[in-house]
Amino acid sequence: MTQWETHPVTEDRFEDLADVINPNRRETHCWCLSHRLPAREIAELGGGSRQEAMRCLTRREHAPGVVTYREGTPVGWCSISPRAEIPRLVSSTLIRPVDEVPVWSIICVVVRSGHRRQGVTQHLLEGAVAYAAGLGAPAVEAYPVDPPGRMDLTMAFVGTRAMFERAGFRQVGTTDAVASRMPRLVMRRDLV
């Protein structure tokens, strides 16, 4: 039986995160910072390095997300935090809160190349929800798109309705944001 584990990305797990989202450690590659920090703060926090800015986030009270391991190998990343700690969501006029519940938000999911379409996402989402629940989150939200056909899953993505439904989420609204000409959904999993 396959052994799965999911852990918050604290500083001691930073290299595992990097192995999933940026295995070649290219500075210009995505470090999953665009929703978390404005460019000025990325530059200040990381001394000009996006990689170092993300490393700094792993030292904060709430980790910037979780990494899922299969048989000890890091295979997935889920960016999850309290919505209140994600500045681009807080100030968004397109992805507005559905209500006053202090949700945690999933803004990105990445499955490492060579491990896609092997059930990683299900374990990753369960681990992300468990992490948030363990820190008292009343609910977790995600903002997927619902494409009419197959979605390009080669890089990071916001997920699909079906992916989140399989993880126990239900649609609670839509946003004014559009991804590839498709409206983004608001999916929620209540924890209390």
Task: Give the model's confidence band at 68: pLDDT under 50 very low, under 70 low, under 90 confident, else very high.
Answer: very high
Using a pLDDT cut of 70, give the percent of the chain over it.
Answer: 91
Most confident range (mean pLDDT) of 49-53, 64-68, 114-118, 141-145 is 64-68
pLDDT of residue 46: 81
Q: Is the pLDDT of residue 154 over 50?
A: no
Q: State the average pLDDT for the chain.
A: 89
pLDDT of residue 181: 64
The topology under which CATH files domain 4-190 is Aminopeptidase (3.40.630)
| Residue-range domain boundaries for the chain | 4-190
Q: Is the pLDDT of residue 151 over 80?
A: no
DSSP codes, the chain: ---EEEEE--GGGHHHHHHHH-TT--TTS--S-TTTS-HHHHHHHHTT-HHHHHHHHTTSSS-SEEEEEETTEEEEEEEEEEGGG-HHHHT-SSS--SSS---EEEEEEEE-TT-TTSSHHHHHHHHHHHHHHHTT-SEEEE--B--SS----SS-B--BHHHHHHTT-EEEEEEEEEETTEEEEEEEEE--
Using a pLDDT cut of 90, give the percent of the chain over it.
Answer: 61
pLDDT tens, residue by residue, 3-18: 999 999 999 999 999 9
